[in-house]
Structure 1
Amino acid sequence: MLHLINFSGSPEQMRWVEEMHIEGVHLDMTHLREQKISHDLLARIRCSPYSPTKIYASNIGLVKDLENALDWQIDHCYGGLMMPPLSRHQILQINDSRIAKAIFSLHPHQHPNGNGDN
């Protein structure tokens, strides 16, 4: 599995994508925000709907980034805005989490799991 990290859209990188059948292209969302990578370039990567190349966007930090990723048909996103699920313990540690405390007090579980959840 070949992935091209830090994709900038250079002619050399595009040649690699086309000739080597790269399976994943990772681009920085800030490049798309600043229009350093064009939408036409993304369309070239997706030469057909059956293209094996998946497009990954990193540094998702704004809600608008998620909307743009959907519009630009980006396959996968990761970054600061994309957050893993929280355990009960983590939620209870959040300041002023009265709602979380109320939710978990209504349905306590009998057997805690390894994540600190009850």
Structure 2
Amino acid sequence: MSSSNNNSILALLAGAAVGLGLGILFAPDKGTKTREKIKDGLDDLKDSAKSKWDFLETETKEKFSKTKDDLKDTVNDLLSDSSYKAEETITFLEEKLAELKKQNAKLHK
């Protein structure tokens, strides 16, 4: 999660808490209405936080999915390149072995 996302969540929660506190302090309503407003405020805060969390969770999953796919592609490319290099090395060694066999055969004549 990025720092700006963390700051946004903290700002949202802090703003809601301050607003709720001020609402309670200056409430002209009866206690039952004030408690109902507090409950509604907390429900709104919970819904807002859950919405933000769900968004961040989805965003994070997408980023990890892309990173995972990129990593798979890189590993597959490396394996393909190493396989090609291994074939080149084997071919080179087979050619050198054939040359050495020819030289050895000349020495034994």
* TM-based fold match above 0.5: no
Larger Rg: 2
Comparing both chains, which one has the higher relative contact order based on Cα–Cα distances under 8 Å and sequence gaps of 6 or more?
2
Higher helix share: 2
Higher strand share: 1
- The TM-score, its normalising length taken from structure 2, stands at 0.21
- The TM-score, its normalising length taken from structure 1, stands at 0.21
